[in-house]
């Protein structure tokens, strides 16, 4: 898939301990994005952060190493991202999801014959 120009970035922030049917929530989001045919999804694990509880969690203190922040980032066309949003509603995520307008300057997937 080749994409360039205006796009939408969906970033979902949650805790690494959030689960959906006994699997990590971030894994469920990535698999749903893949099934929806979106251009791609990446998960980034944070080393420190806080959310609604206002408690700072960090990898520096073993006692606070639970509930570390995780960000799932998905970039695709605006219409494809907006069509995907109802799937997040089903997950009842305790976190925040944000949308940003972005400009894709380079995105090229592997050609089918190269695989």
Name 7's Cβ contacts closer than 8 Å, sequence gap at least 6: 75, 76, 77, 78, 81, 101, 102, 103, 104
pTM for this predicted structure? 0.81
* Residue ranges in the chain whose pLDDT is less than 70: 1-4, 59-66, 107-115
Distance of alpha carbon 90 from its chain centroid, rounded?
15
pLDDT in the model for residue 109: 63
Measure the CA–CA gap between 4 and 105, rounded to whole angstroms. Answer: 5
pLDDT in the model for residue 36: 97
> Average pLDDT over the chain, rounded to whole?
84
Q: Domains of the chain (ranges plus CATH)? A: 5-102 (3.30.70.120)
pLDDT in the model for residue 3: 67
Tokens of 5: 């120009």
């Amino acid at each position: 898939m080749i994409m360039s120009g205006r796009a939408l970035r969906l970033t979902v922030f949650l805790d690494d301990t959030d689960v959906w049917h006994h699997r990590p929530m971030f894994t469920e989001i990535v698999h749903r994005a893949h099934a929806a045919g979106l251009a791609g999804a990446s998960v980034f694990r944070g080393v420190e952060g806080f959310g609604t509880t206002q408690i700072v969690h960090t990898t520096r203190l073993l006692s606070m190493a639970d509930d570390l922040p995780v960000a799932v980032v998905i970039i695709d066309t605006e219409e494809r991202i907006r069509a995907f949003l109802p799937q997040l509603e089903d997950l009842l995520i305790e976190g925040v999801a944000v949308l940003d307008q972005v400009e894709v300057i380079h995105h090229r997937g592997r050609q089918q014959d190269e695989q």
